[in-house]
């Protein structure tokens, strides 16, 4: 039975005061609402240490929005898993559409990140998704297939329990638009099938992998989305950045 997961991506938002207030609110109020769900938040890098300290020993995990796949090295502006692990952080986003689009990160580079994270006992949350232009051109499955093959191919099967996938149709991120439950389920089922194809006996690996949906997830659609057989949670942007709207997802 795969867990249900609500992950909050705070992106480049919130002042220090707002981030700490939100973290304290989650620590106080979320445990009684969690039930059998898991919760993870991804603050901006400048707030990671403070938020991690607040949420230490709480049921809310903390992750980084980005990592560089290397031990300590001369890479200005980057953060490595060795530094994050000192804070008790064991999650990281990889391949979010904004980093793909504006910073030109490729699925091949994502593969390096995922492999390094998994080998160092982090959970990598690998983001995939098509643009509106690609969907309207009928290329959704082509794009998703390439992202899965390039991003997860060659990674050993034994580290797959430390990998999650997040399907985020680019046209639904921050737009207020959302894929219908049927559209989201179709994409999630395809992704699970592609993961299964990576190995000779890959169905058990694919069946165990959490796949989250991201794209304008809110309280009024989260229940129906998570009710789909292959949707295991949400990677949430705007609704995760205020206490009441995040709590409403549980």
* Residue 88 CA: distances (Å) to CA of 11, 55, 62, 117, 122: 20, 10, 8, 14, 10
| Helices and strands (H, E) in the chain, number of each type | 11, 8
* 27 marked ligand binding residue: no
* 10 marked ligand binding residue: yes
Contacts of 155 (CB under 8 A, 6+ apart): 111, 114, 115, 118, 163
Long-range contacts at 198-202 (CB < 8 A, ≥ 24 apart): 198/148, 198/149, 198/152, 198/153, 199/157, 202/157
The Cα 39–Cα 30 span in angstroms is 9
* 9 marked ligand binding residue: yes
* 28 classed as catalytic: no
* 216 marked ligand binding residue: yes
* 238 marked ligand binding residue: yes
The Cα 129–Cα 154 span in angstroms is 20
* 11 marked ligand binding residue: yes
Q: For residue 216, what is the DSSP state?
A: S
CA 127 centroid distance within chain: 6
Which position among 130, 134, 168, 194 bears the catalytic label? 168
Which position among 96, 130, 134, 188 bears the catalytic label? 96
* 136 classed as catalytic: no
The Cα 250–Cα 227 span in angstroms is 13
Find where tokens 């390096």 sit: 112
* 77 marked ligand binding residue: no
Which residues carry a binding-site annotation for substrate?
A: 9-11, 174, 216, 237-238
Active-site residue list: 96, 168
Which residues carry a binding-site annotation?
A: 9-11, 174, 216, 237-238
């Amino acid at each position: 039975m795969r867990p249900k997961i609500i992950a909050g991506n705070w992106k480049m938002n919130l002042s220090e005061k707002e981030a700490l207030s939100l973290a304290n609110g989650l620590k106080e109020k979320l445990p009684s609402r969690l039930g059998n769900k898991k919760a993870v938040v991804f603050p901006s890098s400048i707030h990671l240490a403070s938020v991690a300290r607040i949420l230490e020993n709480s049921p809310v995990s903390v992750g980084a929005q980005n990592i560089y796949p290397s031990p300590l090295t001369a890479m200005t502006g980057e953060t490595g898993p060795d530094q994050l692990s000192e804070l008790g952080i064991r999650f990281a986003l990889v391949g979010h559409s904004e980093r793909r689009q504006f910073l030109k990160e490729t699925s091949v580079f994502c593969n390096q990140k995922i492999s390094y994270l998994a080998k160092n006992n982090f959970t990598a949350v690998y983001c995939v998704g098509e643009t509106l232009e690609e969907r309207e051109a009928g290329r959704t499955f082509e794009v998703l297939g390439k992202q899965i093959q390039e991003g997860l191919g060659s990674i050993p099967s034994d580290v797959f329990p430390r990998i999650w996938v997040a399907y985020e149709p680019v046209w639904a991120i921050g737009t207020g638009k959302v894929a219908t439950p049927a559209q989201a389920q179709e994409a999630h089922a395809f992704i699970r099938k592609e993961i299964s194809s990576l190995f000779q006996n890959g169905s058990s690996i694919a069946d165990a992998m959490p796949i989250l949906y991201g794209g304008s997830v809110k309280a009024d659609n989260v229940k129906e989305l998570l009710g789909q057989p292959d949707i295991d949670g949400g990677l949430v942007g705007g609704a995760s950045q205020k206490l009441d709207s995040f709590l409403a997802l549980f």
